Amino acid sequence: MKFFKTVLFLLVFLVAIKAHAQTSDELKQKRDRYNQELQELNREYEQTANNKKSSLQQLNNLRKQINIREEKINSINSEVRLLDNQISENNTTVHNLQSQLDLLKKEYAAMILFAYHNQSSYNKLMFIFASKDFNQAYKRLKYLQEFAGYRERQAQYIEGTKKDLHIKINQLDNSKKQKSEVLADQIKEKVTLARQKKDEAKVVADLSKQQGQLAQQQRDVQRKINKINQEIKDAIRREIARKRAEGEKNTNSGAARNTPGTKLVDKKSSDNTVLTATPEDAKLSSDFLGNKGHLPWPVANGVITQAMGRHTEHGITSESDGVEIKTNEGAPVRVVFDGKVQAVENVYGTYLVVVNHGAYFTAYSNLKSVSVSKGQKLTTKQMVGTAATDPSTGDSSVQFSLYKGVDPVNPQLWLKPE
């Protein structure tokens, strides 16, 4: 019975350790991703820092690094808490295994002593012949046979427990070593974070002297963003209007009723119904939705430098329907899913490509060149153009937006974590 309790305890403990190990691996992977992003941002910051004048790019880069470092420190705190739990559990297990081993050795010693006192064949025979009847004699014979087998098994349990104890002690040592390494990384990040916050304050002070010039730059950037957002929505509305007219025509002619899977469209139909009226569009839309969180990035290498939403810099509020992704100069820009090119537009010297995916649309802007045309069917990761480079800063980036109908949605939630 004690043996089965020990086995059950070990099984429960091993399951718990496995769950902790998985979480620990996930946290380590997250820390590695943070390190990768910080290395990329640091390279970019060193390039912009060579300029004598501070720039918005420097400030944005610093703030991004500060945010990532703070997230990394929080992640390290989670790792430390997890390792503390593992160390505590390993300590408990080592203690329990040691107690179990001591008990097994004690019981085994008692069995050896008993066997020693009864080792002669004469004593064994006397033990059997002293039985009251045949039934008792048979039971005593079986007892002696089972006792020998039990003693063998008990020796195996002792060896097994010793092995488990050795494994747990090694795991405990590894957890303590890993905790020391993680804490060292945390101290280094806190030192770097403090330094970067000082750098941020200095850049802000320098930029405050250029308030008027920077404000004009921000207004120019926002004017371009507004124009891009408007062009995207206009292209989507044109497609909705075209499909609505086509759907109403098919409904009135009876073609929609005779085509399996085709939805009836009238003036009161929602945009979503219109965009998914045909079986092909409905399937494409469903497949696109099914890949939420798993879509490839529009560039092979990049980091998000500005999230979707409203941002205020130097008193000027800007708002974007998508995200800005910093990438390599001339980097190929790829469509994130199968679809059809809805529009190709030139917006203040750079290109915009809008792609339809049923009820969803993706947009790729700030392109130096394009390699697709309106109406062209595309497959996942097919190139649509190349990223443009800002001549004043040398930064290359692409704006990526995602819409359901004419409503923008956060594209970060749809992209596969890098």
Strand partners, 352: 345, 365
At residue 182, the pLDDT reads: 81
- Asked if 144 and 221 sit in the same domain, the reply is no
> Per-residue DSSP letters for 12-73?
HHHHHHHHHHHHHHHHHHHHHHHHHHHHHHHHHHHHHHTSSS--HHHHHHHHHHHHHHHHHH
Environment class of residue 315 by beta-carbon count within 10 Å: exposed (0-12), middle (13-18) or buried (19+)?
exposed
Residue 268 belongs to some domain of the structure: no
- What confidence score (pLDDT) does residue 215 get? 66
Q: Domain of 399? A: 212-236+276-413
Q: Are residues 231 and 107 in the same domain?
A: no
**CATH code of the domain in which 393 resides:** 2.70.70.10
Tokens of 75: 């992640």
- Count of domains in the chain? 2
In the prediction, which pLDDT does 121 show? 44
Query: Are 59 and 204 found together in one domain?
Result: yes
Same domain, 348 and 296: yes
293 and 385 belong to one structural domain: yes
Query: Position of tokens 């420190």?
Result: 73
Residue 346 lies inside a defined structural domain of this protein: yes
Residue type, 124: K
Q: Where are the beta strands (DSSP E) in 269-418?
A: 302-306, 309-313, 316-320, 322-327, 332-334, 339-347, 350-357, 360-370, 377-378, 383-389, 396-404, 407-409
Q: Is residue 181 located within the same domain as residue 231?
A: no
What phi and psi, each to the nearest 5 degrees, are found at residue 259? Answer: -110, 110
Q: State how far Cα 206 lies from the chain centre.
A: 37
Per-residue pLDDT, 17: 47
Residue 177 CB contacts under 8 Å (≥ 6 apart), including other chains:
none
Same domain? 389 vs 299: yes
Structural domain contains residue 168 = yes
Place of tokens 């209007």: 241
**Burial class of residue 186, CB neighbours in 10 A (0-12, 13-18, 19+):** middle
pLDDT in tens, the chain (418 residues): 444 445 444 444 444 444 444 466 777 777 777 777 777 767 666 655 555 455 666 777 778 888 888 888 888 888 888 878 877 877 787 777 677 767 767 766 666 666 555 554 445 555 555 666 767 666 765 665 565 555 566 666 667 767 777 777 777 778 788 888 888 888 888 888 888 888 888 877 776 666 666 666 667 777 888 888 888 999 999 999 998 888 888 777 776 666 777 777 788 889 898 898 888 999 999 999 999 999 999 999 888 888 888 766 655 566 788 999 988 888 999 999 999 999 999 988 899 999 999 999 999 999 999 999 999 999 999 999 999 988 766 778 999 999 999 999 999 999 998 6
Nearest Cα neighbor of 318 from 383, 233, 399, 221 is 221
User: What is the C-alpha to C-alpha distance for residues 341 and 410, in angstroms, rounded to an integer?
Assistant: 21
Pair 179, 305 in one domain: no
Is 245 among the domain residues?
Answer: no
Are 203 and 216 in the same domain? no
Indicate whether 165 and 34 sit together in one domain.
Answer: yes
What pLDDT is stored for residue 20 in this prediction?
Answer: 47
